[in-house]
């Protein structure tokens, strides 16, 4: 894990900053909401609505999906694994 730095901000590799208009579609976004972006899912960490009037600046962090681990107890069709 590293830090990616630009002229404007520095965030961890697993975090992104999303800027969207503050309107009817986005007014109900709250911290903890999860959104699919690309092939990953991101959790909303913080929302700033006073820095830029009319915009929401949302800090998000990538989350890992839970993966079911196959064990002898939960395998009903062993041939399907190969």
Q: Count of domains in the chain?
A: 1
Residue 38's pLDDT is 86
Residues 6+ apart with CB under 8 A from 30: 44, 47
Question: Tokens for 60?
Answer: 């998000």
Instruction: Tokens 């503050």: give the residue.
Output: 22
Summarize pLDDT for 27-68 with one digit per residue, the tens: 899 999 999 988 889 999 999 998 888 999 999 999 987 555
pTM score, whole prediction:
0.66
Domain ranges, residue 19: 3-81
Q: Average pLDDT, stretch 70-75?
A: 57
Q: Residue 75: how many CB atoms within 10 A of its CB?
A: 11
Task: Please check the confidence at residue 25 and state whether its pLDDT lies above 70.
Answer: yes
Three-state SS at 70 = coil
Mean predicted lDDT score pLDDT of the chain: 79
């Amino acid at each position: 894990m590293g830090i990616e730095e630009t002229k404007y901000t520095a965030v961890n590799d697993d975090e992104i900053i999303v800027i969207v208009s503050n309107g009817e579609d986005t007014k109900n976004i709250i911290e903890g909401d999860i959104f699919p972006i690309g092939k990953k899912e991101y959790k909303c960490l913080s929302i700033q609505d006073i820095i830029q009037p009319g915009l929401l600046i949302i800090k998000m962090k990538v989350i890992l999906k839970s993966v079911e681990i196959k064990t002898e107890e939960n395998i009903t069709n062993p041939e399907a694994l190969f």
